[in-house]
Amino acid sequence: MSISLHAVSKSYGAVRAVQEVSLEVRPGQTVALLGHNGAGKSTTIGMLLGLTAPDAGRVAVCGAEPSRAVAEGRIAAMLQDTGMMPGVKVGELVELARRCYPRPLPAERALRLAGLDGLAARRVDKLSGGQAQRLRFAVAVVADPDVLVLDEPTRALDVKARVEFWAAMRAFAATGRTVLFATHYLDEVDQNATRVVVMARGRIVADGTPAEIRRLAGGGTVGLTRPGPHDGLAALPGVTRVEAEGERVTLHTADCDATVRALAPLDWRDLRVSPASLDESFLMLTEEPEKGTAA
Cα dist. 277→32, 41, 225, 287 in Å? 16, 22, 22, 15
Give the type of residue at 26: R
Does residue 185 belong to any structural domain of this protein? yes
Indicate the helix (H) or strand (E) that contains 241.
Answer: strand 239-245
Looking at the structure of the chain, the number of domains it has is 2
In this structure, is residue 131 part of a structural domain? Answer: yes
Tell whether the model's pLDDT for residue 185 goes beyond 70. yes
In a shared domain, residues 15 and 126: yes
Examine the fold and report which residue of 161, 179, 214 is the final residue of a domain before the chain moves on.
214
139/242 same-domain check? no
44 with 6: CB under 8 angstroms? no
Helices 129-141/159-173 angle, 10° precision: 20
Model confidence at 80: pLDDT above 80: no
Task: Tell me if 291 is assigned to some domain.
Answer: no
Based on the fold, state whether residues 165 and 263 are members of the same structural domain: no
Q: Would you state the pLDDT for residue 222? A: 95
Kindly tell me if the per-residue pLDDT of 293 is higher than 70: no
Confidence band for 53, pLDDT divided at 50, 70 and 90: very high
pLDDT of residue 288: 61
- Residue 290, domain member (yes or no): no
Whole-structure pTM over 0.75, yes or no? Answer: yes
pLDDT, one tens digit per residue, over 4-40 is: 999 999 999 999 999 999 999 999 999 999 999 899 9
239 and 167 fall within a common domain: no
State the average pLDDT over residues 135-146.
Answer: 94
Whether the predicted pLDDT of 289 surpasses 50: no
Output the pLDDT for position 81.
66
Give the mean model confidence (pLDDT) for residues 211-233.
86
Question: Mean pLDDT throughout 32-61?
Answer: 96
Residue 288 in domain? no
Higher pLDDT, 217 or 126: 126
Q: Which domain holds residue 77?
A: 3-214
Both 194 and 73 in a single domain? yes
- Tens digits of residue pLDDT in 145-182: 999 999 888 877 888 888 888 888 888 888 889 999 99
Residue 292: inside a domain, yes or no? no
Does the residue 129 lie in any domain?
yes
Whether 123 maps to a domain, the answer reads: yes
Whether 209 and 253 share a structural domain: no
| Residues 101/73, Cβ–Cβ less than 8 Å | yes
Task: Annotate 264-294 with b (16+ C-beta within 10 A) or e (fewer).
Answer: eeeebeeeeeebbbbebbbebbbeeebeebb
How does residue 292 score in pLDDT terms, banded at 50, 70 and 90?
very low
Q: How confident is the model at residue 111 (pLDDT cuts 50, 70, 90)?
A: very high
My answer on whether 124 and 146 are in the same domain is yes
Residues 10 and 68 in one domain: yes
Q: Are residues 182 and 92 in the same domain?
A: yes
Residue 218 contacts by C-beta under 8 Å, 6 or more apart in sequence? 254, 255, 276, 284
CATH of residue 265's domain is: 3.30.70
**Residue 163, domain CATH:** 3.40.50.300
Is the domain of 139 the same as that of 240? Answer: no
Residues 78 and 101 in one domain: yes
Do 181 and 241 lie in one domain? The reply is: no
The predicted-structure confidence for 254-283, as pLDDT tens digits, reads as follows 888 999 999 999 999 999 999 888 887 898
